[in-house]
Amino acid sequence: ETGVTQTPRHLVMGMTNKKSLKCEQHLGHNAMYWYKQSAKKPLELMFVYSLEERVENNSVPSRFSPECPNSSHLFLHLHTLQPEDSALYLCASSQDAHRGAYEQYFGPGTRLTVT
């Protein structure tokens, strides 16, 4: 495996379900990110982890709960979501969380539909 992988690629869940999104990076990077991409809106940064420590929570509702057990893996735990949370959730990694000029490598995303 190379690059950044995400599973599942597609997810349909009801508002009362609990599910998790998984991201894995094989690039030896120190920083990992969750983004939300909705139709007609810019990519929104949700969370930033640097060396497994959360360094940014961009005012994300508590129904989204991130977890970073090590520098290669990142999870996004979902519970009691709303239909407006339906979007493409993208994971990314970069060499350093504190330098915006570093390239971010994105995974293919999880297309989430909340019914």
User: Which residue ranges make up the site for another protein (CB under 8 A)?
Assistant: 4, 31, 40-43, 45, 48, 56, 58, 90, 92, 94, 96-109
CB-based burial label for 20 (10 Å; 0-12, 13-18, 19+): middle
- Residue closer to another protein by CB (options 83, 100) is 100
In the complex, what is the shortest distance from the CB of residue 82 to another protein, in angstroms, rounded to a whole number? 22
DSSP string, 92-109: EEES-TT-TTSPPEE---
Q: Are 108 and 91 in contact (CB under 8 A)?
A: no
Distance of CA 31 to the CA centre of its chain: 12
- Residue closer to another protein by CB (options 73, 79) is 73
In the complex, what is the shortest distance from the CB of residue 46 to another protein, in angstroms, rounded to a whole number? 11
In the complex, what is the shortest distance from the CB of residue 112 to another protein, in angstroms, rounded to a whole number? 14
